[in-house]
Structure formats: structure tokens, C-alpha cells
Amino acid sequence: MRIAPELAETVAAVVDAGSFELAAVDLRISPSAVSQRLRALESELGQVLVVRSRPVRATEAGEAVVRLARQYAVLEHDAARELGLGGARVQLPLAVNADSLATWIIGPLADFAARHPVDVELLRDDQDATADMLASGTAIGAVTSQAEPLAGCVVVPLGRMRYVASATPAYLERWLPDGATAEALASAPVIEFDRRDDLQSRWLAARGVDPSRPPRHYIPGSQDFVRAVQAGMGWGLVPVQMPGDGLVRIHDDEETVPLFWQRRHLRSPLLEELDAALVAAAAAALQR
């Protein structure tokens, strides 16, 4: 069975927008036309493609159709460019971890967007979770800590993001006057990005500290995270690429997180150029 591109596009639009009404605006058709297209495809396939909730979300079958829609859009762009018709404008949803977003990835994406008719949508999440967006079809590519390629994807190593355990001198004087000993770290406030962030917990465990013992604050933003450390709320692992004025290391060891670029396995000049741009930028910013 062949799935018409416009029907796959409609499913993706509904999932991206979160409602039939907003998808209709994006597609420049009426909400009833959106509903008719979706019902027609569900009838053809004999499967429910979206859960009609708020926001609308894709079922497992719907995720497969969304992935197809992403690939249709990229291949249409490439074909139009090769035929001299001018590349059709294409949306590129990319899942990116917060620290890459705050440090190195905007520059190459800006250059790429200046050269190609693309609409970049960056979806921020933890590096351990961005691959889930690629698997579901929400994103067509992801910066991730997952080295094993997902089904239907290719993976390229980018490098290692380096972090240093940092705090203010005043914080050290109050909480770690004798250095970062296991006993002192067990009661010293720590800052984490969110409840899924386990970077600080891994660092503590490696030094013999029960990660559940220290008081903790959650600051979900890379720049805000650094500002919270600078304000003395706690210690935290700060990327070496981010300015940390007024901060000192609480330990000489660095923590590193390997990052990889995964995307759908398509023979696409557009995506191959994106691969090259990201790999080159990462080579300059990350540890090899």
C-alpha cells in the first residue's frame, strides 16, 4: 500500500501542532479537511494514527507515518534542487541536548540555514533522551549520548563534552573548607539540570558519596544553571566552553560525556551537508 505524501504530511502536522485546528493553520486548509485526511488514512491502514487528546499525540503506527513524512519532505527538497526547480522549503526538527544548544551548535546551524531553504526546529532535551525523539519521528536527527544506531538510522561520533565541578570561593569556604571530601560532599548543596540529570549523581558516586544524600536544586537551563552556581546555590558540573566568571574548581578531575549525531538513513545531499557541518563544528568545540 502506498501512503500519499500529503496524507503523511497531515499526520505529522497534527502531531507537531498538537491539535487539528493549529495543524490546519500550518497546512493552510480547514480543520475539517485535516480531519477528513486523517480519517481517510486511518481507514486505509486500518489503524488509529493519533490519540485525540490535548495535545494530540501519535500512536505507534502514527509515529511510523510521521517518520515517513519527515523523509518525504527531505527527498522532495533534494529532488527539486537536482531538477533545477529550487529546493522546496523543508522543516528540519532536530533534537539537541541543552549544553550543545548553549555552546556550539547554533553557529553551524545558522550557516546551514543561510545556505538552504530550511526551517530548523530545535527540540531540547537531555542527551540521554534525545534519541527517543528520533525513534518516535518527532525529530529527523539528534545529538545524543547513544552510540548504538537506532533502527533505520546512521550514527557519527561528534566528540566529548567536557565538564568541571565548579563553585564560588564563598561556597567552598562554607561547605567544603577542607576540600571536596566524601563527608563534606554528602551535605553540600548540589545543582542539577532537572530530575533526569544524573551527571552530578554519577560524579558523586564515583567518589564514594551516596548521590541521594546532598541537598539539591533543579535549574533547567544551561545559562541559568551556571548563574545558579555563580550565585552560590550549590556546586555543579559546568561545561568548559561556558563562561564561569567567579567560579573555581572543587576537584581537578574532569567529567566527559560522549556525544553522537544520529539521523534517518537517507541518501540525501541536504542531510549529508548537515552531517558535515555538525561534525566540523563539533571537532572544533569538543574533545576528540
Query: pTM to 2 decimals?
Result: 0.86
Q: What is the pLDDT of residue 263?
A: 96
Chain-centroid distance, C-alpha 3: 29
Q: Is the pLDDT of residue 116 over 70?
A: yes
Mean pLDDT of the chain: 94
Q: What is the pLDDT of residue 83?
A: 86
Give me the domains of the chain, ranges plus CATH numbers: 1-62 (1.10.10.10), 161-257 (3.40.190.10)
Q: Is the pLDDT of residue 144 over 90?
A: yes
Residues 57-67, mean pLDDT to the nearest whole number: 94
State pLDDT tens for residues 211-247. 999 999 999 999 999 999 999 999 999 999 987 789 9
Q: What is the pLDDT of residue 87?
A: 62
Lookup: cell for 105: 551548535
Round to whole Å and give the CA distance between 103 and 167. 20
Question: Residues 101, 221: contact at Cβ < 8 Å?
Answer: no
